[in-house]
Chain A
Amino acid sequence: NAGVTQTPKFRILKIGQSMTLQCAQDMNHNYMYWYRQDPGMGLKLIYYSVGAGITDKGEVPNGYNVSRSTTEDFPLRLELAAPSQTSVYFCASSYGQEAYEQYFGPGTRLTVT
């Protein structure tokens, strides 16, 4: 099993550009999550999904969109990149809700200039 994979590993965007961060898992997990990690701030939840076709907002959803058309994939879309979106983005998945551990991808380091 590859676990949770994320692409790209690094990306530099100009202000106003758009991009999609890809996340895939091969563990047949229903639950998937997107976090951003800023220095000294811990992991903040952007969006989550409890199954294909179902998504919901986390703590910091502004400026992002997600979709979940399959169990495996959970892409995160940035429509108009802003410097405040410079961060490290982690995708995670879990077999069940809340009492199940999360499996994290390797992260995407995004810089917006």
Chain B
Amino acid sequence: ILNVEQSPQSLHVQEGDSTNFTCSFPSSNFYALHWYRWETAKSPEALFVMTLNGDEKKKGRISATLNTKEGYSYLYIKGSQPEDSATYLCAFTGGTYKYIFGTGTRLKVLA
């Protein structure tokens, strides 16, 4: 059974703080690692897809890194804003067409 773990489960930060969370995934049979942003009462929306060890992606204040050899990815948010409040999901694919999702990190940014 393939497991994708995310930590922490939830966190609260103050507006302006920078924060980061972790996604751990199997280091064998790696194909791609996805990050999604999921706002309450909406659907998940893709942030990044990373396929190569050492990949770094950036979109505004949000960035992500990938280490396929040790099986982890970090998502960073610089200068958190209340509109960043959401659940951040990662998903692993390993050559089977299936996307294996973690349970997410729920971020609340306090104004």
Contact = CB atoms under 8 A, between A and B. Distances in A.
A33 B89 CA distance: 17
Interface residues of A, number: 26
Interface stretch (A18-26, A43-51, A67-75, A77-85): A43-51
A58 B101 CA distance: 12
Contact of B101 (A43, A50, A100): A43
A58 B98 contact: yes
A42 B101 contact: yes
Interface string A11-53: 0000000000000000000010101000011111100101000
B98 A107 contact: no
Contacts of B34: 101-102
A106 B103 CA distance: 19
B90 to A, nearest CB: 10
Interface of A: 31, 33, 35, 40-45, 48, 50, 56, 58-59, 90, 97-107
Interface of B: 31-32, 34, 36, 42-46, 49, 51, 89, 91, 93, 95, 97-104
7 contacts: A33-B99, A42-B89, A50-B97, A97-B93, A102-B36, A104-B43, A107-B43
